[in-house]
Structure 1
């Protein structure tokens, strides 16, 4: 099992419907492959954490690297793990404009929902740092 965390810049401004499409298709695909994770978007920057079986995650990450919806992809973490940090999340999701998305299943209303205080691994710390520095409206 492994975790991959990457940061990227949106190739163009993402509208709410585009983000919701990404969320919907990610959930379907991730459920079929037993992948969990969280996707955060703030001011044209994505950070995503993905967890799953090594070979499946490596294949998915190759597709992500080729995806033209984002550029300047930086791999922050690509490591073997013994357990998932986001086991219950087919895809968690947060954006800066919460007025229309906060009722979605999987939308992060609180940083506490991530259970990040109990996890000291690099992947979870990268997500926490992004939340704290990006101004995402995710309150404790």
Structure 2
């Protein structure tokens, strides 16, 4: 059974380029063996991540993220059983929140900022779906 999990968190410390590169490298190394795919959106003060895969693998990964001291205020936004993956092309795709089109943010959020803590999980998921549709996802950190 496939599931999709969307969560948001705050970095415990400011995330520098090397720190983000390490997170992405670990994900891209470990996720294929687990059948995990997904997308990570990141800024200096926000993580938004969607992970897809088998129920056990996704739950174990989410639990590890909750315990990871690089994250604080971890909030589950959506969790659902799915019939197919939406983010299957990425072992862990990456989006820089700072580079998002302001008009795209206003389409889903009340201000020109990605704030998953103050909107529905469906709105955040719709934004991520649109990023896939507009080819805004990077396979490696810039």
The verdict on a shared fold, with TM-score over 0.5 as the criterion, is yes
Deviations 1:98-134 (A, max 9, x none): 7xxxxxxxxx9xxxxxxxxxxxxx97742444799xx
Equivalent residues, number: 112
Confirm or deny: 8 A CA contact 1:7 1:75 kept in the other structure: yes
Residue 71 in structure 1 maps to residue 67 in structure 2: no
Deviations 1:67-122 (A, max 9, x none): 00010011001111110001111000122567xxxxxxxxx9xxxxxxxxxxxxx9
Residue 36 in structure 1 maps to residue 40 in structure 2: no
Residue 11 in structure 1 maps to residue 12 in structure 2: yes
Give the number of the structure whose residues are more often helix, by fraction. 2
Q: Structure 1: any 5+ residue segments left out of the alignment?
A: 99-107, 109-121, 133-137
Q: What is the deviation of 1:32? A: 1.1
Deviations 1:30-60 (A, max 9, x none): 1111110000002310000000000111111
RMSD, aligned CA: 2.7
Confirm or deny: 8 A CA contact 1:2 1:52 kept in the other structure: yes
Confirm or deny: 8 A CA contact 2:15 2:44 kept in the other structure: no
TM-score, normalised by the number of residues in structure 2: 0.70
Confirm or deny: 8 A CA contact 1:47 1:127 kept in the other structure: no
